Every structure is written in C-alpha cells, then in structure tokens.
A = this chain, B = another copy of it.
C-alpha cells in the first residue's frame, strides 16, 4: 500500500472518544496479561539477584494492575475484554530475542533491562492517553485507577534505570 493512501474505515469503526477509550482499555488488558506471562521468563534468565527481585516485584504489581483494569471496565459499565495489542506483542518478542542473543550474565541482564524499559515506556504512553480520555469523558473512578497504574509504571522505569546505571551496565562493561 502506498504510504500516502487515504484509509477507509471499517464498518464497525470507532465513532466516539468513548469507543476509542474502550479500545485502548482492551489493548491494555491484553498487554498486561502478556507482560504477566513474560516477566517470570525474564526473571528466570536474569543473573543479578537485584534484577530478579525487581522483576518479581513488578510481576506482583502487574497482577494487581490487571485487577484494577477490570475495575476500570466495571466503572464505565463495559464488559472486561482483552484485544491483541500488536505493539506489545512486538515489544515482548524483541525482549525474548535478547535472551537468544546473549549468554547468561551482566550483558544479558543489561539487555533484559533495556527490553523491560521499552515495555514500561509503552505503558506510560498508553496509560497517559487513557487518563486524558477518562478525564475528558468524566470517568472519575477510571481516571483514579489508571493514574495509580501509571505511577507504578513510572516507578518501575526509574527503578530499572537506577539498577542499570548503578550496577548492571557497569558489570556488563568489565
């Protein structure tokens, strides 16, 4: 397809911001479930005990975020459903590629951190968008819950950055 093609919408296209908000929520639920599956594998293949702990701790947060996302659906009167998120599928695929492209040790750990920070940033963008929609749509409970989740994602990103620069990258450079 030409890069400058005008794209025709499907017959069941999103007509309102509410439709778009629901689509984002379905993507996010799929993404969090995929992360829940991927994190134990990353933790298992990490060497640094600090990194293993950070990943395990974020796994618990992720499980809790799935519960919160279901509450968001409930708060707007929509059935909780997951819809495949191509972007998160690609990000996770890339993260798993890191495991094949590195041997166990600090270089693999550095690669795991890089992959996880891409996951976190994707989520920061995704929840940032959903919070803006929820605010405008006056979905107050949804806005509150999504704001709690984005705070955790941002904290997870900061934790990984600190771990990279204070320990893992330095060991990987020896």
Q: Is the CB–CB distance between B20 and A172 below 8 Å? A: yes
Question: Assuming A17-B107, A110-B17, is B101 touching A10 (CB within 8 A)?
Answer: yes
Residue among A23, A120, A132 facing the most chain B CB atoms (10 A cut-off): A132
- A82: interface (CB < 8 Å): no
> Which of A49-57, A68-76, A163-171 contacts the other chain?
A163-171
Mask, A117-143, CB within 8 Å of B = 1, is: 110111011101100110011000000
Per assembly, the copies of the chain total 2
Within 8 A of B (CB), among A38-94: 38, 40-41, 44-45, 85-91, 93-94
Bin chain A's interface residue count: 35 or more
Q: Is the CB–CB distance between A117 and B101 below 8 Å? A: no
Complex CA gap A128/B114 in Å reads 9
Complex CA gap A164/B132 in Å reads 8
Q: Is the CB–CB distance between B87 and A17 below 8 Å? A: no
Complex CA gap A10/B103 in Å reads 8
Question: Assuming A14-B101, A136-B169, is B45 touching A6 (CB within 8 A)?
Answer: yes
